[in-house]
Chains A and B, each alone.
Chain A
Amino acid sequence: MNQGGTADTLTTVEINSLEKYPVVDPSQAPSTSYYAPSHSAPISWSTHGGNNYPRENGIVSSSSYHQVQQVEIASRTVQDGLNATPAASTLTSGAANPPQDYSSYSTYQNTDPYGYGNTGYATYYNGYQQQASQPYQPPVGAYQNSGAPYQPLSSFQNTGSYAGSASYPSTYYNPADYQTSGGYQSGVYSNHSNYWQEGQYTTYSNHQYPNYPQDSSTLYSSTTSAASSQYAQHYKQWADYYNQTQTEVSCAPGTENVSVSGASSLSCPIPGVTGGYPASNSQAPAPYTPSWRPDSSSSELPMAQPGTANGSVHDGYWMPGPAAVQNQNLNPMQQHVQTPLGTSSTRESFQNQQQSSGPQGHNSTYTASHQVPQSYPSSLQTVSQTAPQLDSRRVSNKLQIPTNPRIASNLGLGLSKVDKDISGSNAASKPAYISVSLTKPNEKVPSEDAAAESILKPGMFPKSLCGYVERALARCKGDAQMAASQAVMKEIITKATADGSLHTKDWDTEPLFALPNADTASREDVLFSTPTSSLPKSRRSPSRRSKSRWEPVSEEKVADKPVAAAAEPVKYGFWNKQFTGGKVENKVVHWSNTKFSLSDQKSSNKNSLRPSKRQRLVDGPSAADNGDASSESDKEQTLTAYYSAAVALADSPEERKRRESRSKRFDKGHGNRQNNHFKQKSAGAGNLYTRRASALVLSKNFVDSGTQAVEDIDWDALVVKGTSQEIEKRYLRLTSAPDPATVRPEETLEKALLMVQNSEKNYLYKCDQLKSIRQDLTVQHIRNELTVKVYETHARLAIEVGDLPEYNQCQSQLKTLYAEGIRGCHLEFASYNLLCIILHSNKNRDLLCAMSRLSAEARKDDAVKHALAVRAAVTSGNYVLFFRLYKTAPNLNTLLMDLYVEKMRYTAVKCLTRSHRPTVPVAYISQVLGFTSTFPTTEASDGKERDGVEECAEWLKAHGASLTEDNSGEMLLDTKLSMSNLFMPEPEDAVSHGDANLAVDDFWARNLESSIK
């Protein structure tokens, strides 16, 4: 229904009212579409697809787009102020999105469930999200859910109907706190979308539809699940991702527990959000959603905080300059959300494999959406659009990765793994981590703007109109006035659209309507005038994130993929009663069938390349600032001022206000946490919720600040006390607040360590187990002798198999642990450290540093003395000494030296051939270079010695030496002949990562084994 003609009309109403654009209408349509059966949904989707492109375009088209955004922002601010009364806010915002959103709001929620029911997807989503109330809706719901986070995206993508959808999400959000973001996106997008629709929506629509469902479903499912399940079940895993979305819900209630329950039961806020989103999200969502989501997330954040805080927070966010920035920042969050959903990961995997599994479906959808954008770009702002899309894709991929781990823990690790594997092209980006993705979107936006400006068709959204709106808003002082002005403008524009004078009217000369109120116009002006400036800021923060040292998810998970995919539904079912595993699977199948034809990876790749280049260009100056940005707000301000012309915004009152509100939020968040703790004591089940909620709140705060990377999160605030009694636990990188139910307390960890130490299994297994132990220790802030023991055990194991990277991690941890005065074998590890430096990194500075740190007591230790002697032997090239030390090495020093033996032998032989004439007996070489023991004492060792000589002869030959025999049959090295022929052969068992033990075969075998189990 919605999607079809009705959708258009409806959308027009909402959107139009806001912006008077045809596009606007679509937004309304989305809402209707939700209500409408799934069939109708497809239609809408197709339009959405068109819209999606438009979204990109919209973004791209900087001039019109920006303006719109600004307006939206303004409206958002208004909304913020109005938070208490979402409906009111919508009305006020009227001019832009707000009104639309709000109006749609109530209806939407209701409709959403229906929408879900219609589509097969619903199952998917249902399971995740809603849990109870809207199982049928799932498809729709899923869409919708995702929509909430995605709203912005949706609006972009779905220019036509989707624009409407976008607005929906916003409406949904509005109730919670999303309002502002929603308003934003929808308004801006809707404009664009309209244009697009006119041009190419119809064509695209078909393609997109399949995609949409998939995308949305994936997204939605994740989001929804987050909403419903998150609270109760997935706190940890989902927490981060969901935090944004969920936070809204939880926050809104004020108390986490209450809010959560309320949200789930009501399903209104969540469903509504999701419903609205689905449409928009389904297509473009992947790429776009991330960027837009930020907005929603930002709005969410406020929500998370107490109601009172919301208003202020919003204001801060929306502050002129900041608003744009915030959105960008938020994007990361949104992305996270998506990732949690698993859709992103699944998307990738799906695309690659197109398997039956739901995740695949998602992937395919993504590609589809991507493709679409590409095609669109050609007509409108193709270049810019595609670039953004690509970026978004990347982002989504990347994001997915991080999330996957979490998801994996709860849902199915397999999915995440799959993503990694499947991603192929994406794979590289995935490891990059969330931060990278975030930055990209932001960066893209600016580039898009530039492109958009050039490309913008006049017809789309008359520039003059934008100018008109801008002028009108510029006069406004204060949010209230803004809102009022917007309402007036909305009317004007609607009217113009209705009588067709929208494009014919000379907006430049059109007299401004009477100003409703009078306040200080400065804010809005700043906002409007400096949209671009704000963008740079946001970009910066992402770029910083990209530098984050988070590792890609461990590869081990890959094996689990299939399992995980299957397992997911089940798990969900566990989490949410409402979930139906069977349904989910069905849905997945649907998706895979429908979608996946559209794999335009190639094109997407190209696009992706472009954006990155652009980003660089654009970022150039600003990127440098990023580093400083986080350090201090003051500093940040100054820096920003430096780099961007827009700098002025940084110090603007709005900025300050924003900061204040941010800090307020923090306070509240802490307060909530404390409350939660109390509750935890009393209620067992409640505990998790509260905890998560508090974690969510915290994470929201982080999201707001935008500049903060995930690793900047104050994990101290998230210290948990584990309750899990599982001795065996797989390692999953934590991407959200830890769940006490899966964290093991110290006693259990001790048992786990013992188990690992006595385990017969291979290193990969042990490494995995130890990492999970380390993780549990870290999240519980356990830093004692057990911690040292775990790291020491792991370091020793790593040395034994030559896994230097892992060893280095342990060593650096041990260094700080020892420095804290925790006892352990610090001398042993001091010697390892020395050996490592001398034998592997061989940087003089490091060596000097390590040596000068050795205490007098340490120098007396045998192991340290040995290491120092080895160092001396290596620096002087004294191979005789080296191999004597090799034979007498204490602890695991031998194993570390092992890695240097080949090099030492080679230089020794080079030296021998150069200095000795005419020959050197092989027996002597064998003895000096450690092939045979230096002092054969017993007869029994004769045999061994002979073997050693044989081995030495083989080795020499392998390295190009010429051997001869003398009269008595003794083997000799002909030094003169050998001198110029020596070479270092390529090791036969060479593996790219340097350790045959870690070969891929083994890895796969292990994973298959475990997955079969």
Chain B
Amino acid sequence: MIGTETHQQDGRSAVKMDPEKKLPVLVIRRGSNTALTDIREIWERRELVYMLIWRDLKLRYKQTILGVSWAIVQPTLMTIVFAVFFGMIVQVPSDGIPYAVFAYSGLLIWSFFSQALMSGSMSLSGNANLINKIYFPRSILPLASVCVRLVDLGAAAIPLWGLMLYYKLPFTWSMLWCPLLIAQLALLSFALSAVLAALQLRFRDVGSIMPILIQAWLFASPVVYPASIVGNEWRKFYFLNPMAGIVENWRAALFGTPIDRSAMMISGSITLILSLICIRWFYALSRNMGDVY
């Protein structure tokens, strides 16, 4: 019953042309949606990605008083908390940078990551009614949700420049690394949240585990403390966490201290491998998403 892939080479949905009417023909069969056909379709449906981002941002304005300013308020409040307890009371070192700037710069990309994971992992179950009734590449939902967080990240970056000017920290060429690191972070966030979203549809437990997981991950990454205080015997394991390399080098790029190349290589390759695994897994899970949910 399954061997239906006879007259199309590889079982993928193919758009061929109807010889008479010149209409594109779409062939639907088992296994016709794969990551590769999806990439083409995501590109074709890029307006939908844009609309979903627009929907989220617009809804926030309609439903909250502060709207997008929450993107700035959240990391600011967290910075104040950590600056009081870690910076003033416990006096955690911060590699010679004022602790407030140190913490804000880390919490800035950390809140992007944690919120991308939180909202991304809910992006499929929160739109289950769409998945059931309208077809579009499913990966568009976690993708749009990560993009919304990128907009937030852009907004939350404004106070960082303010802080750096206030503390008279120099702006250097090494800042050119920042977009690359953000791209790596966005890829990691998308791949992880896609797979978590697909798992969340099957096992609602995922939603309960997420906050704890993210909390633990925060302390395993050099966000509110510098990686330099990690003992030598732990260092080689420490940088296996891809976030460690990202956060550490993000700061190095911002403040003009030397980039840790080996940390960058390790976290870069782990990000790539992990993302490929997650994306494959996502497609295995997404096969018949429209059926059950």
A and B associate in one complex:
no
Taking beta carbons and an 8 Å cutoff, which residues of A are in contact with B?
Answer: none
